[in-house]
Amino acid sequence: MSGLIGKKIGMTSIFDENGKNIPCTVIEAGPCIVTQVRTEEVDGYKALQLGFDDATEKSATKADLGHAKKAGTSVKRKIVEFKGFDEEYKLGDAITVEHFIEGEFVDIAGVSKGKGFQGVVKRHGFGGVGQATHGQHNRLRAPGSIGAASYPARVFKGMRMAGRMGTDRVKVENLRVLKVVAEKNLLVVKGCVPGHKNAYVIIEK
């Protein structure tokens, strides 16, 4: 699907025409520069490669510098391919937040916040085992049994246990676009999106 690369600014809330308070996320969406045009003749499929957020030349490789020079732009920090653009674009064209319309629905993907090593209650929503009385001692948030004994004599793959939580790629679907602020490249969507402040997100129509 067509879309843009953006950066999560943070969350706020706005009032709709009925006076209802709606939680929303503000995203800096674009402008994205077309850094490569994929065609069926050359690549076997049609797509646009978009770049977002300028990077320093010092941190770029020679390949990155050559790629950006061919498109007539600076080196970009984030590059993503999108399919499904109806309009024809060429190298170096800029696609702005005006690609989106107020009231339409978008899907937003990003990397969720890392929460470190967590137990089963926080990570998987376990209720905890046992009671808090009758001699129970510090086992309230324990996972309980993780399998049988002599048969099968092993723990099955996929057993929900404690471990590192977060930093997963998450896509939230059907978020309504509440506002498009073209002069500041801002997109306001209803609800929350994955990632920390200033995290890159991919917005798809």
Domain architecture of the chain: domains with CATH: 3-204 (2.40.30.10)
Q: Is the pLDDT of residue 13 over 90?
A: yes
Mean pLDDT within 177-181: 95
- For residue 151, name the pLDDT band (cuts at 50, 70, 90): very high
- Provide the pLDDT for residue 185: 94
Give the torsion sign (CA, 150, 153, 159, 164). positive
Task: Determine the Cα–Cα distance for residues 112 and 25; give it in Å rounded to an integer.
Answer: 15
Q: Can you tell me the distance from the alpha carbon of 84 to that of 5, in angstroms, rounded to the nearest whole number?
A: 15
Average pLDDT, the chain: 92
pLDDT-based confidence at 17, cuts 50/70/90?
A: confident
What is the C-alpha separation between 205 and 199, in angstroms, rounded? 19
pLDDT value at 42 more than 80? yes
Q: What is the per-residue pLDDT for 57?
A: 87
Name the band, by pLDDT with cuts 50, 70 and 90, for residue 20.
Answer: very high
Confidence band for 101, pLDDT divided at 50, 70 and 90: very high
The pTM is what? Answer: 0.85
Range 30-57 average pLDDT: 92
- Band of the pLDDT at 131, cuts 50, 70, 90? confident
Q: What tokens does 8 get?
A: 């999560």
- What is residue 128's predicted lDDT score, i.e. its pLDDT? 79
- Name the residue type at position 93: D
